[in-house]
Amino acid sequence: MGGTFDPIHLGHLRAAESAREALGLDRVVFVPAALPPHRSGPVASALDRFAMTALATAAHGPFEASDLELRRGGPSYTVDTVSAFLAEGPGSLCLIVGSDTFEEMTGWRDAARIFASCHVAVVPRPGDESLPPAPPFADAAGVSLVSGPTLPISATTVRARVREGRSVRYLVPDAVADYIAKRRLYA
């Protein structure tokens, strides 16, 4: 599961847990993008976003944080990340994305190769329980809609609340809220 994670929040964690349960995944690896190529630059540094991701995933055994894209440097293209995970050894790979991201994937670098290399699990946004149309090059068998609870939380809302001096408790894990306060992120 990749993303900017600026910051990671309970909506991200719930989406990953829903996908893990629905698809019987052994583990979910969270990969913060070093430099997202499809959006404006993150507010927090890549190192801070990785640290928050590591804190958020530490308490749940099947979750882990990866600094793969941070070590690679440059723009964080999903096709490169998928290739790197597949090169680690045998096994299948599942890419977890939100329904909003799924709709954008046709514009991603080597999108057809991503769909050919791994299963794509789409987590719907709260209130939207349907699968958006798949790109024409995507094998329908390689795409699934994840059912399960989701939370209506966004990183934009979390950052705005911090900027306004409001609490972000119960929107992000406690360790992430503490990290944001200690590092004075998003203020």
Among residues 128, 131, 150, the alpha carbon closest in space to that of 142 is found at 131
- What is the reported pTM? 0.94
Phi, psi of 103 (to 5 degrees): -65, -25
Q: What is the pLDDT of residues 72-123, one digit of tens each?
A: 989 999 999 999 999 998 788 999 999 989 989 989 999 999 999 999 999 9
Q: What is the rounded average pLDDT for all residues in the chain?
A: 93
Position 6 pLDDT exceeds 90: yes
pLDDT at 34: 94
Q: What is the pLDDT of residues 165-174, one digit of tens each?
A: 999 999 999 9
Where b means 16+ CB within 10 Å and e means fewer, 36-62 reads bebeeebbbebebbbbbbbbbbeeeee
Q: Domain segments of the chain: what residues?
A: 2-183
Q: Hey, which CATH number is domain 2-183, 3.10.450.50, 3.20.20.150, 3.50.30.40, 3.40.50.620?
A: 3.40.50.620
Position 141 pLDDT exceeds 80: no
Calpha distance 34→41 (Å, rounded)? 9
Position 140 pLDDT exceeds 70: no
Position 176 pLDDT exceeds 80: yes
pLDDT at 160: 98
Q: What is the mean pLDDT of residues 155-160?
A: 98
pLDDT at 132: 76
Position 127 pLDDT exceeds 90: no
Among residues 137, 139, 129, 138, the alpha carbon closest in space to that of 99 is found at 129
For residue 115, CA distances in Å to 47, 67, 121, 135 come to 29, 23, 11, 9
Calpha distance 150→168 (Å, rounded)? 18
pLDDT at 90: 79
Q: What is the mean pLDDT of residues 25-31?
A: 97
Angle at which helix 10-23 crosses helix 46-57, to 10 degrees, equals 50
pLDDT at 94: 97
